[in-house]
Amino acid sequence: MTGDRPGKKDAPIDLRRLDITSGGGAQVDVVTSLDGMIMGAEEYVPVPAEVEARIDVSSSGSGVGLRLRLATELRGPCQRCLADATVRVDVDTRDFQAGGRDLVEDPDPDLDCEYLIGPAKQELDVVAWARDAVVEAMSMTILCRPDCAGICPSCGTDLNAGSCNCTEETTDPRWAALGDLAARMREDSPDEA
């Protein structure tokens, strides 16, 4: 089965409506909403806010296999210079729901899909799964460009635009003890040459 899912946008997909028998599968193309992601107190907004996603559902004697694929871009501040940055995020993730576990009170992350909701765990919350998958796939460092020089910690000048006039190199006094320790370790270590 391919095509838009029936029902309201962002409503959970009712897997029972796919009518998959054991050994069978279905593919569902959906459009889902993504909210902004917060990283380091900064918001990164998906562009566009709605993305196309593909859900693969397969059934076997042991349970239901799920796969989510989507691509989006996130926009927000560069983590070095605070200029606008855009990063592409590609998601290809899988989950699994073991059969006969719909009434289990203590979920097991290896056997239970947290995105299957409802009394019989037959409704797939695509919005929650897509959002979590995008957060997991995000780069930990978001930059305006790979060689971003950042800003001067002393005067705040954008070093991508040129150098600043700061001449005095200051060392944070809190690091002085580590510098002394490193110097002592160099003195105490015999040369390996």
Identify the residue with better confidence: 128 or 102. Answer: 128
| pLDDT given at position 7 | 47
| pLDDT given at position 4 | 42
Identify the residue with better confidence: 8 or 123. Answer: 123
Mean pLDDT across 126-130: 94
Average pLDDT over all residues of the chain: 85
Mean pLDDT across 11-38: 87
Mean pLDDT across 141-168: 88
Mean pLDDT across 85-102: 89
CA pair distance 123, 7, nearest whole angstrom: 12
CA pair distance 30, 91, nearest whole angstrom: 14
| pLDDT given at position 103 | 65
If pLDDT is split at 50, 70 and 90, which confidence band does 119 have? confident
Q: What is the dihedral of CA 160, 163, 168, 169, to 10 degrees?
A: 40
CA pair distance 56, 54, nearest whole angstrom: 7
pLDDT tops 50 at residue 9: yes
Q: What's the pTM?
A: 0.74
Mean pLDDT across 100-120: 79
| pLDDT given at position 61 | 85
| pLDDT given at position 148 | 94
Task: Choose the most confident range, by mean pLDDT, from 17-31, 101-115, 131-145.
Answer: 131-145
pLDDT tops 60 at residue 187: yes
> How many residues are recorded in the chain?
193
| pLDDT given at position 82 | 92
CB 43 within 8 A of CB 36: yes
Cβ count within 10 A of residue 151: 19
Q: To which residue do tokens 């979920």 refer?
A: 107
DSSP per-residue codes, the chain = --SPPSSSTTPPEEGGGG-PPTT-EEEEEEEEE---EEETTEEEEEESSEEEEEEEEEEETTEEEEEEEEEEEEEEE-TTT-SEEEEEEEEEEEEEEETT-TT-SS--TTT--TTEETTTT-EE-HHHHHHHHHHHHS-SS--SSTT---B-TTT--BTTT---S-------GGGHHHHHHHHHHHHHSPP--
pLDDT tops 70 at residue 85: yes
Structure tokens at 57: 């559902």
Q: To which residue do tokens 């002394």 refer?
A: 180
CB 125 within 8 A of CB 12: yes
Mean pLDDT across 97-112: 77
Structure tokens at 116: 């299957």
| pLDDT given at position 168 | 63
Positive or negative torsion for Cα 139, 147, 145, 76: positive
